Amino acid sequence: MDQYGNKPEYLKNLYFSFVVLLRALRRAGPYLYNLPFTGSGSDEEARNTQYLVRRLLDSQLMTSCNSVFEAFDESLMFSGDSGDSVPGFSTLDSKTAFVQGNSVKATLKSQWKGVFHNISQVMDCISCQKCRLHGKIQLLGIGAALKILLLPEQLIAASLERSELVALFNTLSKFSRAIQAIPRLSQEYLEFQRTYKSDILNEQLAKSRAD
């Protein structure tokens, strides 16, 4: 808490990322609902996995929190085909503007991929293997969520790999647990601060009486 207590933007980023993950999960819902989850383990494990995924997709969180999902709109990302994105767009004919807009869109997507690649390379420098593993899984999970949100719905089934699905659900679980822990950690931090300040005050009073 000493590290994150004075940085509320970290919590905002956590909540925002969680919304992105949930929005991706909801968009891929029709594909995931009927996915057999076979290929590893026993048939019973595959059935249990399918049951748990369907239970998540049918949960109240996924079906009733529309206002939460509206906090992020992937259609506004890479909007290089809008007039505001291309200087001088209004003076161009429609064909030239369309081509130039797509060029901007492609450039933005390329830059976005470069950011993910750079983050992955930074994680290679982490000495703790467990930390590096968890970091890369979560990075892959967020990447899978963005892929789901940006691809046409008819291409989702053919584009997602098994490792990406595993990372998506793993990352969703990690972020969910982190958000659940926020109230408890905040309360513990406030209690610690009160106790610490009280101890300091008592020490000062004891010292003043001794003098």
**Residues acting as catalytic residues:** 128, 131
Asked if residues 23 and 74 have their Cβ atoms less than 8 Å apart, the reply is yes
19: closest CA among 70, 64, 54?
70
Give, for 31, the enclosing helix (H) or strand (E).
helix 29-33
d(Cα 93, Cα 86) in Å, to the nearest integer? Answer: 13
15: closest CA among 186, 165, 178?
178
